[in-house]
Amino acid sequence: MERRQLLKYMTLGAAGVGMAGLVFQKGTAVASPLNMPVVGTYDVLVCGGGTAGFPAAVSAARQGVRVGVIERYGFMGGVPATSIMPSWHHLNKRGSGFLIEFAERVSALGVGPDPLDNRHIEPEVVKYLFHEISMEEGVHIHLHEMIVGVIKAGNRVTHVITESKAGRRAYGAKIFIDATGDADVAYHAGAGVMKGDAEDDTLQGMSLRFRIGYIDIPKYLDWLKGYPQYCRGRKADHIEKLKQRYLKGLDIHMGTDMSNIWDSDPDPELPRNTYFVWASIRPNELSINSTRIYNVDGTDPDDLTKAELTTRKQAWAIWRYCKKHIPGFERSIIVETPCHVGVRETRRIRGDYVITHEDYRNARAFEDSVMFDNVTFDSHDSKKYDTFSRRGAVVDIPYRCFLPKGLDDMLVAGRCLSSDHLANSAIRGMWNSFQGGQVAGTSAGLSIKYGTTPRDISFSKLLDTLKKNNLVTSGDMHMKKSGQ
Q: Which position among 433, 447, 453, 474 is part of the footprint of ligand FAD (CB under 6 A)?
A: 433
* Residue 140: closest CA among 268, 42, 279, 16: 42
Q: By CB under 6 A, tell whether 118 contacts ligand FAD.
A: no
Q: Which position among 159, 169, 292, 344 is part of the footprint of ligand FAD (CB under 6 A)?
A: 344
Q: Which position among 39, 67, 70, 252 is part of the footprint of ligand FAD (CB under 6 A)?
A: 70
CB neighbours (10 Å) of residue 268? 8
Binding mask 323-342 for ligand FAD (x = CB under 6 A): -------------------x
Q: By CB under 6 A, tell whether 66 contacts ligand FAD.
A: no
Q: By CB under 6 A, tell whether 445 contacts ligand FAD.
A: no
The bridge status of strand 156-164 relative to strand 167-178 is: antiparallel
Let me know if 33 is exposed, middle or buried by CB neighbors in 10 A (0-12, 13-18, 19+).
Answer: buried
Residue 395: strand, helix, or coil: strand
Q: Of 140 and 415, which CB lies nearer to ligand FAD in the complex structure?
A: 415
Q: Which position among 66, 142, 211, 428 is part of the footprint of ligand FAD (CB under 6 A)?
A: 428
- Asked if 69 contacts 141 with a C-beta cutoff of 8 angstroms, the reply is yes
- Asked if 38 contacts 172 with a C-beta cutoff of 8 angstroms, the reply is yes
Which helix (H) or strand (E) segment holds residue 159: the answer is strand 156-164
Q: Of 112 and 414, which CB lies nearer to ligand FAD in the complex structure?
A: 414
Residue 374 Cβ, how far from ligand FAD at the closest point, in Å?
Answer: 11
CB neighbours (10 Å) of residue 18? 10
Q: By CB under 6 A, tell whether 441 contacts ligand FAD.
A: no
Residue 221 has φ and ψ, to the nearest 5°, of -65, -40
Q: By CB under 6 A, tell whether 38 contacts ligand FAD.
A: no
Q: Which position among 73, 128, 275, 377 is part of the footprint of ligand FAD (CB under 6 A)?
A: 73
Instruction: Give CA torsion, residues 257, 262, 264, 268, to 10 deg.
Output: -130
CB neighbours (10 Å) of residue 365? 16
Q: By CB under 6 A, tell whether 398 contacts ligand FAD.
A: no
Q: Of 84 and 463, which CB lies nearer to ligand FAD in the complex structure?
A: 84
Separation CA 182–CA 187 (nearest Å): 9
Which span (26-34, 50-58, 97-105, 369-377) binds ligand FAD, by CB under 6 A?
50-58
Q: Of 88 and 278, which CB lies nearer to ligand FAD in the complex structure?
A: 88
Q: By CB under 6 A, tell whether 369 contacts ligand FAD.
A: no
Binding mask 219-258 for ligand FAD (x = CB under 6 A): ----------------------------------------
Q: Of 58 and 79, which CB lies nearer to ligand FAD in the complex structure?
A: 79
Residue nearest to ligand FAD (CB): 50
Separation CA 427–CA 160 (nearest Å): 26
Residue 461 Cβ, how far from ligand FAD at the closest point, in Å?
Answer: 25
Q: By CB under 6 A, tell whether 123 contacts ligand FAD.
A: no
Residue 67 has φ and ψ, to the nearest 5°, of -125, 135
Let me know if 394 is exposed, middle or buried by CB neighbors in 10 A (0-12, 13-18, 19+).
Answer: buried
Q: Which position among 66, 72, 131, 174 is part of the footprint of ligand FAD (CB under 6 A)?
A: 72
Q: Which position among 38, 44, 57, 89 is part of the footprint of ligand FAD (CB under 6 A)?
A: 89
Q: Of 184 and 251, which CB lies nearer to ligand FAD in the complex structure?
A: 184
Which span (38-46, 255-263, 422-430, 469-477) binds ligand FAD, by CB under 6 A?
422-430
Question: Which residues ranging from 182 to 201 are in contact with ligand FAD (CB under 6 A)?
Answer: 182, 184
Query: How wide is the angle at C-alpha 464 spanned by C-alphas 461 and 470, nearest 5°?
Result: 145
Residue 340 Cβ, how far from ligand FAD at the closest point, in Å?
Answer: 7
* Residue 183: closest CA among 194, 199, 173: 194
Q: By CB under 6 A, tell whether 275 contacts ligand FAD.
A: no
DSSP calls for 91-152: HHHH--THHHHHHHHHHHHT-S--TTTSSB--HHHHHHHHHHHHHHTTPEEE-S-EEEEEEE
Residue 196 Cβ, how far from ligand FAD at the closest point, in Å?
Answer: 15
Residue 478: strand, helix, or coil: helix
Q: By CB under 6 A, tell whether 397 contacts ligand FAD.
A: no
* Count of chain residues binding ligand FAD (CB under 6 A): 38
Residue 264: strand, helix, or coil: coil
Instruction: Give CA torsion, residues 357, 361, 365, 371, to 10 deg.
Output: 60
Strand-by-strand arrangement of the 252-256 sheet: 252-256, 276-280, 286-289, 210-213, 333-336
Q: Which position among 10, 14, 109, 146 is part of the footprint of ligand FAD (CB under 6 A)?
A: 146
* Residue 251: closest CA among 93, 86, 108: 86
Q: Which position among 37, 55, 113, 429 is part of the footprint of ligand FAD (CB under 6 A)?
A: 429
Positions touching ligand FAD (CB under 6 A) are 48-53, 70-73, 78-79, 82-83, 85, 87-89, 146-147, 179-182, 184, 207, 209, 289, 342-344, 414-415, 428-431, 433
